[in-house]
Amino acid sequence: MDRSSPPVLRVSNLCKSFGALRASDGIDLDVRTGEIHALIGPNGAGKTTAINQLSGELSPDQGEILFNGQNVTALPVQKRAQLGLARSYQITSIFPAFTAVENVAMAVQSKQGQNFRFWAKARADRARIDPAMTVLRRMGLENVAGAIAGELAHGQQRQLELAMALATQPKMLLLDEPMAGMGPEDSRRMTEILLPLKDHLSILLVEHDMDVVFALADRITVLVLGKAIATGTPQAIRNSPAVQAAYLGELR
């Protein structure tokens, strides 16, 4: 991690209200190049709402989002994705009728373009399938490559979704509770997969499991009632009285 380099993602004064509810209340956040930055907070704190604004699915009421120095606040989802901002969803979002490899191949295709090719068979296109298989292998999913994605086990679907995000070769990942609903075994595997990723990309990770967070995160931001109340190293966050009062205290 390079502390001197400019942040890959810089969020300032992000605000979003649903009626009277302030789901994002002036969030400031930096994610540095090559860091895993955890975003934690109790249920309903506004983590998913924040991620949705970063990815472009929700447009903020106020505030600014810079990605690699470029202002992306007004860009739609697909444009941000093309710039290298990939995401996973808290509720698994895959193509249930496709096979696993086809799911990843869609991500590969998105990166490669040529979406207006009308004639050649896509499923036989090595340029599309081979990179997808490589990613699946990296995730340990090669055995289920031919299985229908909707019929995979929950844990495998979560991994598949991460595989899709990775196959777009993003510069940054927004992961909304990638371990949600996983057993301890799958969860540990996922941790092992995520850790080496920071060699070539940055991650904003929303996660409830504190063991995972402390194992992975370089820095942590704590969100409570839409406000970022603290940011710091895991050590600093663990010892912060404010955080303990507002959040960690509940869990212990």
Decide whether 17 or 68 has the Cβ nearer to ligand ATP: 17
Coil vs helix vs strand at 40: strand
Instruction: Find which of Mg ion, ligand ATP, another protein, none residue 131 binds, CB within 5 to 8 Å per kind.
Output: none
C-alpha 164/C-alpha 141 separation (Å) is 12
| Candidate list 13, 59, 78, 134; residue touching another protein; CB under 8 A | 78
| Candidate list 48, 73, 88, 168; residue touching Mg ion; CB under 5 A | 48
Residue 227 sits at φ, ψ, to 5 deg, of -110, 140
* Residue range at the interface with another protein (CB under 8 A); choices 94-102, 133-141, 192-200, 210-218: 94-102
Q: Which residues contact 201 (CB under 8 A, 6 or more apart)?
A: 34, 170, 171, 172, 173
Decide whether 127 or 245 has the Cβ nearer to another protein: 127
Indicate the DSSP class of residue 114.
-
Structure tokens at 49: 């709402």
Q: Which residues contact 187 (CB under 8 A, 6 or more apart)?
A: 179, 209, 212
Question: Under rule CB under 8 A, which residues in 179-218 are in contact with another protein?
Answer: none
Beta-bridge mates of residue 10: 30, 66
| Candidate list 82, 134, 143, 235; residue touching another protein; CB under 8 A | 82
Q: Residue 28's CB: how many other CB atoms inside 10 A?
A: 14
Instruction: Find which of Mg ion, another protein, ligand ATP, none residue 114 binds, CB within 5 to 8 Å per kind.
Output: another protein
Decide: is 90 part of the binding site for another protein (CB under 8 A): no
Coil vs helix vs strand at 175: strand
H or E, element range at 169? none
Structure tokens at 99: 């096979």
C-alpha 135/C-alpha 141 separation (Å) is 9
**Minimum Å distance from CB 54 to ligand ATP?**
12
Decide: is 109 part of the binding site for another protein (CB under 8 A): yes
Q: How many residues bind ligand ATP (CB under 6 A)?
A: 12
Decide: is 98 part of the binding site for another protein (CB under 8 A): yes
Interface residues with another protein (CB under 8 A) are 19, 55, 57, 76-78, 81-82, 86-87, 89, 93-98, 102, 105-107, 109-111, 114-123, 125, 128, 164, 168
Report the interface residues with Mg ion, using CB under 5 A.
48, 90
Footprint of ligand ATP (CB under 6 A)? 18, 21, 23, 41, 43-49, 90
